[in-house]
């Protein structure tokens, strides 16, 4: 499956507000979890239908509905009806191939961003689309699969942290985006450790396998940059929105998001330059070794060329050659040739010439 751009032929010509799932289904069943809280009280429940969240819609509390799984069209239509959202908003949610963006509507703000996570077991970088719909009292987050990436935010709510418990949906939205961008920096730092360790190996012993590792790291870095750069544009657009749904105090935190995403971009640029330098160092080192090998072989050839020249003129056609009448001369000659060949191969191998 392509990691950079995906488009199915069946999607061409569809209406922008058509509720059609565009992406890879990553869960069998859609999970719904609702957290409702204010400064004093909190409810945390797993629900089976969207209608169970209807009672929270008009409350003065902050309601966070998290949806794991995007493929259920009927459920998306029900969310649109219960929370009075335009169908095009849910259509954007179901399009996991779309570029991250921010869009302001009459009663909500829609945000989408790519979320990166590091698989500690396989070191593979997984990506999924996170969509957030923010209204005055309700925030709905959509994930492609179930995960615990937002557990630190839930933990802050449980522990009655004043800032998040007294804040509105705008601050909760900021907290979710902050988790995503922190993961960007974590994934980059993990890859950066591999790149820096590779540089030490490159200087100590530039083997042929190192070029494969450099190319693999470069491919991973390009994949990360492909997801982070649009996120920077998305955060910049969010900071420019003048909406009643975003309080002045939260605007300051959004500025912090800008700083963090810029830090991530700068880090990726630095690692990209390091990888380019590593490629140059590798090729320079290999060229230098090749020059040393050629120098050695040239000296070796210069010594034996005149000897070969003399042997070519006179040959060994002398009247008295002691070894000619020795019974095992032929076998001794082959033994000397084989030992000489093996010895030279061992010497070249120890010099890492092949």
What's the pLDDT band for 125 if we cut at 50, 70, 90?
confident
Domains with residue ranges and CATH for the chain: 9-282 (3.30.460.20), 316-354 (no CATH)
| Residue in this structure with the two tokens 């001369």, named with its chain if needed | 329
pLDDT tens per residue, range 69-80: 999 999 999 999
Q: What local confidence, expressed as pLDDT, does residue 1 receive?
A: 45
Ranking 75-84, 103-112, 294-303, 336-345 by mean pLDDT, the lowest is 294-303
Query: CB within 8 A of 256, min separation 6: which ones?
Result: 178
pLDDT in tens, 237-275: 999 998 899 988 888 899 999 999 999 999 999 999 999
Phi/psi region, residue 5 (left: phi>0; alpha: psi -120 to 50; beta: rest), is beta
State the helix-helix crossing angle for 248-314 and 169-204, rounded to 10 degrees: 20
Point out which residues pair with 116 in neighbouring strands: 127
- Region 142-170: mean pLDDT is 90
């Amino acid at each position: 499956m392509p990691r950079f751009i995906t488009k199915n032929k069946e999607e061409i010509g569809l209406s922008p507000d058509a509720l059609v799932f565009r992406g890879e289904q990553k869960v069998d069943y859609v999970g719904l979890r609702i957290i409702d809280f204010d400064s004093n009280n909190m409810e945390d429940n797993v629900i089976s239908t969207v209608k169970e969240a209807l009672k929270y819609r008009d409350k003065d509390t902050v309601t966070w509905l998290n949806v794991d799984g995007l493929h259920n069209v009927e459920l998306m239509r029900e969310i649109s009806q219960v929370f009075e959202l335009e169908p095009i908003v849910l259509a954007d949610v179901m399009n996991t191939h779309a570029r991250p963006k921010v869009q302001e509507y009459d009663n909500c703000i829609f945000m989408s961003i790519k979320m990166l996570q590091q698989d500690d077991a396989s070191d593979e970088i997984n990506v999924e689309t996170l969509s957030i719909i923010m209204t005055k009292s309700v925030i709905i987050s959509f994930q492609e699969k179930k995960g615990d990436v937002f557990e630190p935010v839930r933990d802050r709510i449980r522990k009655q942290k004043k800032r998040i418990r007294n804040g509105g949906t705008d601050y909760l939205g900021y907290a979710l985006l902050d988790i995503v961008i922190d993961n960007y920096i974590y994934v980059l730092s993990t890859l950066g450790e591999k790149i820096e360790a590779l540089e030490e190996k490159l200087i100590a012993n530039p083997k042929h396998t190192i070029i494969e590792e450099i190319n693999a790291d470069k491919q991973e870095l390009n994949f990360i940059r492909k997801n982070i750069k649009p996120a920077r544009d998305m955060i910049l657009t969010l900071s420019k929105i003048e909406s009643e749904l975003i309080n002045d105090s939260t605007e300051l935190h959004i500025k912090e998001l800008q700083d963090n995403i810029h830090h991530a971009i700068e880090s990726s640029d630095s690692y990209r330059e390091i990888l380019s330098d590593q490629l140059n160092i590798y090729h320079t080192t290999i060229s230098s070794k090749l020059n040393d090998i050629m120098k050695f072989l040239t000296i070796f050839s210069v010594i034996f060329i005149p000897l070969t020249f003399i042997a070519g003129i006179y040959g060994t056609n002398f009247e008295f050659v002691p070894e000619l009448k020795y019974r095992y001369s032929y076998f001794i000659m082959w033994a000397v040739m084989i030992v000489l060949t093996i010895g030279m191969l061992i010497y070249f191998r120890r010099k890492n010439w092949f």
